[in-house]
Chains A and B, each alone.
Chain A
Amino acid sequence: MTCREFADFMMDYLSGELPEESRAPFERHLSRCANCHEYLAQYKHTIEAGRLAFTNPEEEVPADVPEDLVKAVLAARK
């Protein structure tokens, strides 16, 4: 298995969807290629970082209430 093929299989490997016949060569490559080992680790860190980036919703909220939007919504409801 090449590094390119390894990278193609990473998502299915992590979600447990990689078929048996590909899993063994994948894991063999993982144990032998330090660079792909690191690449897979960073791929996992990326998913985790994305998830954690939005854990504090207040950070993205504008400090002021968008008055014009509030007025527009209340007017549209009537």
Chain B
Amino acid sequence: MQASAGPPVASLDDGALVARLRAGDEEAFELVVRTYSGRLLAVTRRILGSDEDARDAVQDAFLSAFRSLERFEGGSLLSTWLHRIAVNAALMKLRTRRRKPEDPIEPLLPVYQENGHHQETFSSWNEPVDVAMSRAENRARVRACIEQLPESYRTILLLRDIEELDTDEAARALGISPNAVKIRLHRARQALRGLLAPHFRSAQP
């Protein structure tokens, strides 16, 4: 352990902070863990659902980040780098834990008549989506609806539409075929639409 000479760690930019971490500065480690544990916990909890697993994944993520400090590239953001490592740690955890039986997604999907027409008549949503989503209450509502999706569908939606992995990356991360990723993503989006619609559509006359 080295004495933390120089300016206080809290005032350092990412490059300088990583330099302190590489030098083994305890104060810098504590600052990084204290600053980022909350938001990394939010990321891993989103993917894993369980609080306990999310905490384990955050711990794994920090340890893995600290082991690979030499791979942090100057010019990138520490927050982005840690975020990516936390997503990977959560996926690793997801692959190794025993899968719990999950609710079927079919009840959340559209229903068709025998002739292949929709059973439901869709009424338009009451305001543009970017306007609706500029309000925190709607962002929280959408996150809560995503949480309601069965796990194997929720994970795909998060990886593809939120974390913006492409189909092949998501397939590799989850150990399933690219085609399975596409099928699940399409179902997950349709199920989410069904969950969001009651909140966003215009009031019926």
Contact = CB atoms under 8 A, between A and B. Distances in A.
Contact of A47 (B34, B189, B197): B189
A77 B118 contact: no
Q: How many B residues are at the interface, by size bracket?
A: 35 or more
Nearest to A61: B38
B152 to A, nearest CB: 17
A31 interface: no
Interface of B is mostly: helix
B25 to A, nearest CB: 12
Interface in B121-139: 121-125, 129-130, 132-133, 136, 138-139
B62 A77 contact: yes
A42 B125 contact: yes
Nearest to A45: B129
B121 to A, nearest CB: 6
B124 A51 contact: no
Q: How many A residues are at the interface, by size bracket?
A: 35 or more
A48 B129 contact: yes
Given A73-B33, A77-B29, A43 B59 contact: no
Nearest to B32: A73
Given A54-B143, A76-B59, A42 B116 contact: no
B18 interface: no
Interface of A is mostly: helix
A50 B196 CA distance: 10
A15 B190 CA distance: 16
B94 interface: no
B192 A50 contact: yes
B132 A49 contact: yes
Contacts of A43: 189-190, 193
A53 B182 CA distance: 22
Given A42-B122, A50-B142, A50-B161, A62 B38 contact: yes
Nearest to B30: A74
Contacts of A66: 37-38, 41, 55
Interface string B138-162: 1110110010000000000100011
Given A3-B112, A74-B33, A61 B118 contact: no
B70 to A, nearest CB: 16
Contact of B34 (A46, A61, A65): A65
Contacts of B172: none
Closest 5 CB pairs of A and B: A2-B116, A60-B42, A52-B133, A53-B142, A38-B122
Given A57-B42, A70-B33, 8 more contacts: A49-B142, A52-B129, A53-B133, A60-B42, A69-B55, A69-B58, A76-B63, A77-B62
